[in-house]
Copies of this chain bind each other. A is one copy, B any other.
Amino acid sequence: MDKYCFGVDIGGTGVKLGLFDANGSLLDKWVFATRKTGDGKDILKDAWDFIVSKLEEKAITKDKILGIGMGIPGPIMDNGDVLELPNLGLGYFNIEEEMSKMTGLKVKAGNDANVAALGEQWKGSGKGYNNMVLITLGTGVGGGIIYKGNIIAGSGGAAGEIGHLPVNQGELERCGCGKCGCLEQYASATGIVRLAKQLVNSNPKASKLADADVITSKLVFDLAKEKDPLAIEVVDEACRYLGIALAGVAQVLDPEAFVIGGGVSKAGDILITYIKKHYTSNVMNALKDRKFLLASLGNDAGIYGCARLVLSSNA
């Protein structure tokens, strides 16, 4: 009998859902808007109602569903305890127990960055690397750590928070987290724009970057590929901080591969080239030859990882 599972990746604006077969092939996927009003737990109900409607549509009976894997945008313990998700209006509760009670199905949950890492390790660029780190360069910088094929969640669900690695003791501006000198201040899309503006302001060098009406991280990388010297300086600087941070991660964990995802990673190989340059000069010899790869699952990494949570616990 064919079996299935669902991956449900809850974000601040949208909830992504994926229907998978028991081998982890994605059969169909959807997105609906995250409900902003009422009890945060209504989001779980919305997800279940959505799943039920899709099961009816596809004439799949509930007994064929192996379980639901979930990703949530905040710290979560290995046992499913969610500490607090103020953005979603949620306080302490056990998401696996509550969702399981509501649905009558097995539920496994993880942090969104961690399930994305698990997804890339299982079906994306990280395939074949049991010890892998995903770094997501988007509005912020996120991370997820896979060791021996499993998520490292940490004792309080905060493992893999690579965006807040301290990388610059000289920084005077504050990061959103309240500290100064976090990786996110240089390597997120916002951080790259910030670096670009600083360099443009302090540097009289002729550059298309200085002439731009609006600086975006995409523009920085596009101009760097055109050999604009100032844009190259920005890319080099952002990747210098990434190289330092990932060298630190390697000294701690000795992973086989780093996978770079998020919107900024669309810049492509130039990003890998510059990160590797700075990683290599900041890491000990035994760790220099680690792999650096671009993520390949895009926004689907999370639902893949959610499915993996369920399917691996059925193995």
Contacts and interface: CB of A to CB of B under 8 A. Distances in A.
A251 B244 CA distance: 14
A152 B75 CA distance: 22
Contacts of A286: 75, 156, 158, 161
Given A248-B248, A252-B253, A152 B160 contact: no
Nearest to A247: B166
Interface residues of A, number: 44
A294 interface: no
Interface string A132-171: 0000000000010101000011111111111011101100
Contact of A255 (B155, B247, B256): B155
A156 to B, nearest CB: 6
Contact of A281 (B75, B153, B168, B179): B179
10 contacts: A131-B154, A145-B252, A147-B147, A147-B152, A160-B252, A162-B252, A165-B247, A166-B244, A245-B248, A252-B253
A264 to B, nearest CB: 19
Given A147-B152, A179-B281, A252 B254 contact: no
Contacts of A252: 143, 145, 159-162, 165, 248-249, 252-253
A156 B256 CA distance: 8
A313 interface: no
Contacts of A161: 251-252, 254, 284, 286-287
Given A145-B252, A155-B255, 16 more contacts: A75-B286, A147-B152, A154-B253, A156-B254, A157-B254, A158-B251, A160-B252, A162-B251, A162-B252, A164-B283, A166-B248, A166-B283, A179-B283, A179-B284, A245-B248, A249-B252
Contacts of A27: none
A253 B159 contact: yes
A13 B35 CA distance: 65
A155 B169 contact: no
Interface string A271-315: 000000000011111110000000000000000000000000000
Nearest to A159: B254
A177 interface: yes
A272 B157 CA distance: 25
Given A169-B244, A248-B248, A284 B177 contact: yes
A217 to B, nearest CB: 23
Contacts of A75: 286
A250 B281 CA distance: 23
A38 interface: no
A255 B161 CA distance: 12
